[in-house]
Amino acid sequence: MSLTSQLDRPAPGMTFDQMLERVRYDGAYPTRERAEEVVSAVLAALGRQLTGEERVDLAARLPVEAALVFTAQIPGTEQLTGWGFVKDLATRTGGSPATARWDAGAVLTSVAQLAGPGLLTRVLAQLPPGYGLLFGRAELTQTVGRQPLSTPCR
């Protein structure tokens, strides 16, 4: 098996109930109902950001109930940065940015597991900066205006 096909293989799937329990545990939510509210809000917000093949491929790897929430959203005309995504989520849910960041992380790390590393890389490449940490992946950025370390200064 080639490295490319290994990267594109999804993690073993999970049912919607298993996803809710994972999010409930990771987010330390008191009830299953609260976890379901958070999953719906975050997946709807992600559905407004993602387009194209990545959207279709991600929906195919989500449990049916989660995919329906995700795909019911019409992608927005303006893509939000990771921080913009969190602020928009906070506004729509009536929570604070800190709570929205927590909620996004609790849900999107489960989404990342379902997507698998190959699809997650493609999803992150489509989105503006700032989403990597929300999905539980380190995000390296390049500083503008600095010379690479291997280039001698003159």
**Looking at residue 5, what is its pLDDT?**
44
Instruction: Please state, in angstroms and rounded to a whole number, the distance separating the CA atoms of residues 137 and 17.
Output: 24
Total residue count of the chain as it appears in this document: 154
Confidence of residue 142 (pLDDT cuts 50, 70, 90): low
CA 10-115-23 angle, 5° bins: 120
Give per-residue pLDDT as tens, 108-137. Answer: 999 999 999 999 999 999 999 999 999 999
Distance of CA 67 to the CA centre of its chain: 13
Instruction: Please state, in angstroms and rounded to a whole number, the distance separating the CA atoms of residues 43 and 115.
Output: 13
Give per-residue pLDDT as tens, 32-41. Answer: 999 999 999 9
Alpha-carbon Rg of the chain, whole angstroms? 17
**Looking at residue 151, what is its pLDDT?**
44
In 3D space, the residue among 31, 32, 58, 43 whose CA is nearest the CA of residue 115 turns out to be 58
Confidence of residue 146 (pLDDT cuts 50, 70, 90): very low
Give per-residue pLDDT as tens, 57-103. Answer: 999 999 999 999 999 999 999 999 999 999 999 999 999 999 999 99
Per-residue burial over 1-26, b = 16 or more CB atoms within 10 Å of its CB, e = otherwise:
eeeeeeeeebeeebebeebbebbbeb
**Looking at residue 136, what is its pLDDT?**
94
Confidence of residue 12 (pLDDT cuts 50, 70, 90): low
